[in-house]
Amino acid sequence: MAPKLPPQQPLQTPAEQGNDGAATAGHVNEGYHHGPSGLMRWLLTTNHKEIGTLYLIFSLSMFFIGGIFALVVRAELFQPGLQLVQPEFFNQMTTMHGLIMVFGAVMPGFVGLANWMIPLQVGAPDMALPRLNNFSFWLLPVAFTLLLSTLLMPGGGPNFGWTFYAPLSTTYAPPSTTFFILSLHIAGISSILGAINIIATILNMRAPGMRMMDMPLFVWTWLITAFLLIAVMPVLAGVITMMLMDINFGTSFFNAAGGGDPVMFQHIFWFFGHPEVYIMILPAFGIVSAIIPTFARKRLFGYASMVYATSSIAILSFLVWAHHMFAVGLPLVAELFFMYTTMLIAVPTGVKVFNWIATLFQGSISFETPMLFALAFVVLFTIGGFSGLMLAIAPADFQYHDTYFVVAHFHYVLVPGAVFAIMAAVYYWLPKWTGHYPNERLGRWHFWTSVIGVNLTFFPMHFSGLAGMPRRIPDYALQFADFNMASSIGALLFGTSQLLFVLMIIKCVRGGEKAPAKAWEGAEDLEWTVPSPAPLHTFDTPPQFHHREG
Amino acid sequence: MRNLAGVVAAIGGSVWLTRSALADGWNMPLGVTDVSRDIHGLHMTIFWICVVIGIVVFGVMFYSLFRYRRSKGAKSAHFHENTTVEVVWTAIPLLILVGMALPATATLKEMYDAEDADLDVMVTGQQWRWHYEYLGEDVSFISNMSTPRDQIDGAAAKGENYLLEVDQPLVLPVDRKVRFLLTSDDVVHSWWVPDLAVKQDAIPGFVNENWVRIEEPGTYRGQCTELCGRNHGFMPVVVEAVPPEEFDTWLAERKQAAAREASGVDREWGMDELMTRGQKVYESVCASCHQVDGSGNPPVFPALANNPALMEERDRHIATVINGVSGAPMPAFSSTLSPVEIAAVVTYERNAWGNETGDIVQPSEIQSQLE
Amino acid sequence: MWQVLKSVLAAFFGVQKDQQRKKDFEEGRPTAFIIVGLLMALVLVVGIFLLATTAAE
């Protein structure tokens, strides 16, 4: 599917798009851009805006594939008993849903936004390493084609959960696991290269006059996220390589019979996995910190403390991994250590929420769609934070662990958290990308159906978990039936309402109310100084940045 | 003022609604042990702390959204930092957390004190059942889910304890300290009974500890909570807590039965009784992977029917059941099955589903191999 | 040096006066802040560990 969005020109008619011949109008305008056209243009592009678009389209496609898997899971759980799928396939669906959403939808979504917006926000002409940028994107379709193809292999795809605990994922795994490992390796390389590129861009290519403490928070949060990525993706690569050795070369890293330790797998996985959780939420903090001041028409409260809080969260994220393992039989000292560090993380996270609310206080607030999503983020992410605080209490975690309460918790921080932030960002920056405002009516419909759907899906999971329903089961006892039926109905509503999102994007690309350079009245950052839609090449001459005083 | 009254009424109403909902079985069970009540107390404390913080934070937020609407002509102020406020809202959460950490630490220490138990029970997870052994009492048995397949497939009406019922529950005495030693024969499982507030992973090659002192007789149900493969959802835990005297009687009966079982090793067994016994063992232990008809689930679980290679090697067949297969899902059954059971199940596998080898494996032969 | 330590502690707590922050960014050397910051992170870890050990007894 060739993306129909050449960002360098306003789209006049679909007919003109069809003949994207050797010399389109856009290319003529850009005297020195002599790239290939058609499919090869997208395959070989080194332009940060085009690569950003590719990432976002990829992320959206994966969001739908992962969403369909989730709907299979929810359909089976609509009623007690096995109706639609057998447990083998059910386990593959839960596993693939998690893997695709984490590695295929949320992470590439944020990288796409980073590609588009970081150069624009720091006043750079492009990413620091454009060819590497192209390579890191095109690794992703390879990785995920490979991953999805395992579903068709004998023995089926990965069926051991997205956390793939050994030895279920080694000795007891289907033969396709080796392909799963290779695909994660490729996705991991893509992430590392992307992170290197982002760091190089932010540290070296800021506009003259822009100091670190002048950078927009989206840039700050991504800088910290990129360091986290570089720190932990090699850990993931290490653990899956150990799995590979255990499966194919007779080692016993995680096989107790050979002197290995299955718990060591969990330690290594979560040493990657917990910072990974913050990789999926820190850029969201940056997005919300851009949107709320814009629509409150008031400067972000506590900019410096936002930067400090982000750094604190990043550092603490390396010290809390074993709170995912309170029930594996850790020594008492370890339980206490990880309980205390986990509780500490609540402080910087709370500070962020307080800062957003203080920004709203005495503002001049309007409620365009990006703002609606950002506000829903603040409320619903905070609810996810509350359940996180409850989970931090180690004794209580023995009751919560591996139940639907945990499922409710991490979906609250990831769906109305990370995913809503990405959607808010899309609504916020679409005028810059396409030159048109998104359709406000469609946006509102999409927003309200999503909010209702998300809460109907995930709120009852708190109750089913507390009532005793374990996660990752294809069938359940009768007392959980009502909660599950509500969740399934909510999931269907949330899933189908995303079609409105796609419809809105298509309409916005094709036309709509024209947006000026500064599309939102209260917007302040550098991206709003270039025309809408942003031409293919921006900031060829670095802008002079004037930081705000007082 | 009318606004304020409305807000107070709304908050009061939702608190009342929340309380009644929580009382109605939507919440963590209070449980029947000291520890479970402590945990429930911590859970409710942190829950109400979150509710209060939520009311304050969201209250300020929605007030601001309502009061400072641009459509009502709100003009934005210019402040963007205030050191005092920031210090206050960093310090208060810190204090709340310290206040929460103190009781949590105390409860955790209590949970970790498994010393001086009156009874030790070894709990072993297997795909997909639990094996219980009363240590030092020579009593052990396997506990399988007893919900019929028809109920799962919707061919029969679902019973009251659908998916939460077993053929042999774990029987425990009330008012005695019982220590659990948990391990696994294959993948990681997790043994959970909400009413006892015991959830502990069962990890192959390692032994975990937990304990319970049940205060009320009754039947308490739970499930495996760590994804352990295909039948993860069909691996219930049922604990039956009985008064100590009743427990002692029960244990004595089980000991006698175990002694009878052990004496079975000394006599010669006939084909028919081995086949009958073997079928029971096979369907309880082997069929979850190798299927009731012996067709297996290749490539991971080989077929036992129509497997000429296996039928030629009687000794390897016996050794595989006793020792398991290193690097493959087949566990060693030497610790979970008695010599009689191993002999019966091997005999059954070598003569069922058209495997008409005519081989009889005697329990005494297994016994000598185990020694 | 004392000022560096004070600023790092302020950053750990997350609150600092704007004036002092500006002064740090204009006059301080980044290496000093990074080294003291890493040391303080280590102190934090050891501190929590000691706290946990004491509490466990």
CATH of the domain at A261: 1.20.210.10
- The answer to whether residue A549 scores a pLDDT higher than 60 is no
Residue A419 carries which DSSP code?
Answer: I
Cβ contact, residue pair B90, C56, below 8 Å: no
Predicted pLDDT at B352: 86
Of A309, A334, A340, the CB nearest to C14: A309
Specify which residues B190 forms β-bridges with: B201
Q: pLDDT for B284-341, tens place per residue?
A: 888 878 888 888 877 778 888 888 888 888 888 888 888 888 767 788 888 778 888 8
Task: Using CA coordinates, name the residue in chain A closest to B95.
Answer: A347
Same domain, B251 and B282: no
User: Chain A residues with CB inside 8 Å of B222's CB?
Assistant: 468
Q: Same domain for B103 and B134? A: no
Neighbours, chain C (3 or more CB pairs < 8 A): A, B
In this complex, do C15 and B86 lie within 8 Å of one another by their Cβ atoms? yes
Q: Among A242, A230, A163, A153, which Cα is nearest to A199's? A: A230
Nearest to C48 among A305, A340, A348 (CB): A340
Q: What is the dihedral of CA A370, A376, A381, A383, to 10 degrees?
A: 180
B275 lies in a domain? Answer: yes
**Residue A213 placed within a domain:** yes
User: What does the pLDDT look like over B110-153, one tens digit per residue?
Assistant: 999 988 999 999 999 998 899 999 998 889 899 999 998 889 99
Contact C14, A309 (CB under 8 A): yes
Q: What is the mean pLDDT of chain A?
A: 91
CA atoms within 13 A on the CB side of A367: 15
Size of interface A-B (CB pairs under 8 A): 280
Q: Are residues B190 and B272 in the same domain?
A: no
Instruction: Confirm whether B70 is domain-assigned.
Output: no
Report the catalytic residues of A: 97, 126, 162, 190-191, 274, 276, 278, 289, 323-324, 349, 352, 471
CA distance C23 to C40: 21
Portion 242-281 of B in contact with A at CB < 8 A: none
Q: Tell me: cis bond preceding B204? Omega within 30 of 0 counts.
A: no
Long-range contacts of B323-326 (CB under 8 A, 24+ apart): B324/B185, B326/A257, B326/A258
> Of the ranges A134-138, A314-318, A504-508, B366-370, which one carries the lowest mean pLDDT score?
B366-370
CA-CA-CA-CA dihedral for B304, B306, B308, B313, to nearest 10: 20
Give the CA dihedral A263, A313, A281, A98, nearest 10 degrees.
0
Q: Does C1 touch chain A (CB under 8 A)?
A: no
Q: Which residue has the higher pLDDT, B333 or A78?
A: A78
What percentage of residues in chain A have a pLDDT greater than 70?
93
- Interface size A-C, in CB pairs within 8 Å, comes to 43
**Do residues C56 and A344 touch, judged by C-beta distance below 8 A?**
no
Q: What is the ipTM of this complex?
A: 0.89
DSSP conformation letters of B247-306? HHHHHHHHHHHHHHHHHGGGSPPPHHHHHHHHHHHIIIIIHHHH-TTS--BTTTB--STT
pLDDT, average across residues A294-320: 91
Q: Is B153 on the interface with A (CB under 8 A)?
A: yes
Number of structural domains in chain A: 1
Contact B90 C14 (CB under 8 A): yes
User: Which CATH number do you get for residue B141?
Assistant: 2.60.40.420
How is residue A513 annotated by DSSP? S
For the cut 80, the answer to whether the pLDDT of residue A472 exceeds it is yes
**Nearest-by-Cβ selection for A402 from B93, B208, B226:** B226
Asked if B132 and B246 sit in the same domain, the reply is yes
Confidence of residue B86 (pLDDT cuts 50, 70, 90): confident
pLDDT in tens, A429-471: 999 999 999 999 999 999 999 999 999 999 999 999 999 999 9
Nearest residue, CB atoms, A82 vs list B105, B152, B209: B152
- B170 and B238, same domain (yes or no): yes
State pLDDT tens for residues A22-40. 333 344 444 455 667 788 8
pLDDT at B16: 61
Instruction: Report, as an integer, the average pLDDT of A521-547.
Output: 90
pLDDT (average), residues C23-42: 82
> How many domains would you assign to chain B?
3
Judge if B305 and B186 occupy the same domain: no
DSSP string, A309-326: HHHHHHHHTTS-GGGG-T
| Closest CA–CA distance from residue C15 to any residue of chain A (Å) | 6
The Cα of A309 is separated from the nearest Cα of chain C by a number of Å equal to: 6
Q: Name the residue of chain B whose CA is nearest to C16's CA.
A: B83
The Cα of B80 is separated from the nearest Cα of chain C by a number of Å equal to 11
**Is B214 within the bounds of a domain?**
yes
Which residue range(s) make up the domain with A257?
A: 43-529
Tell whether A208 is covered by a domain. yes
For residue C33, what pLDDT band results from cuts at 50, 70 and 90? confident
Q: Which residue in the set B50, B65, B229 is minimally distant from A390, CB to CB?
A: B50
Residues B104 and B189 in one domain: no
The shortest C-alpha distance from A46 to chain B (Å) reads 39
Cβ-defined contact of A304 to C45 (cutoff 8 Å):
no
Shortest distance between the Cα of C5 and any Cα of chain A, in A, equals: 15
Domain that includes residue B126, residue range: 119-261
Residue C25 has pLDDT above 80, yes or no: no
State residue B368's pLDDT score: 84
3-state secondary structure of A64: helix
Q: Are B212 and B273 within one domain?
A: no
Span B11-55, pLDDT tens digits? 666 666 665 555 566 899 999 999 999 999 999 999 999 999 999
Query: Taking CB atoms and an 8 Å cutoff, what residues of chain B touch A354?
Result: 57, 89
- Domain assignment present for residue B256? The answer is yes
Which tens digit of pLDDT belongs to each residue from B89-106?
Answer: 889 999 999 999 999 999
C-alpha–C-alpha distance, residues B171 and B134, integer Å: 10
Whether residue A297 lies within 8 A of chain B, CB to CB, comes out as yes
Task: For A350, name the nearest residue in chain C, comparing CA atoms only.
Answer: C14
CATH for B348: 1.10.760.10
Q: Please answer yes or no on whether C52 and A333 come within 8 Å at the CB atom.
A: yes
Q: What is the residue type of B321? A: V
Residue of A nearest to C21 (CA): A304
Distance CA B136, CA A156 (A): 44
Per the CB < 8 A criterion, the answer to whether A17 and A11 are in contact is yes
- C-beta of residue A263 within 8 angstroms of C-beta of residue A345: no
Residue A8 lies in a domain: no
Antiparallel, parallel or unpaired: β B218-224 and B119-126: unpaired
Structure-model confidence comparison of residues A10 and B138, the more confident one: B138
Find the Cα–Cα–Cα–Cα dihedral A303, A307, A309, A312, rounded to 10°. Answer: -160
Q: Is A258 an 8 Å CB contact of chain B?
A: yes
B266, pLDDT greater than 60:
yes
Asked if residue A136 belongs to a domain, the reply is: yes
- Pick from C13, B326, B99, B284: nearest CA to A255: B326
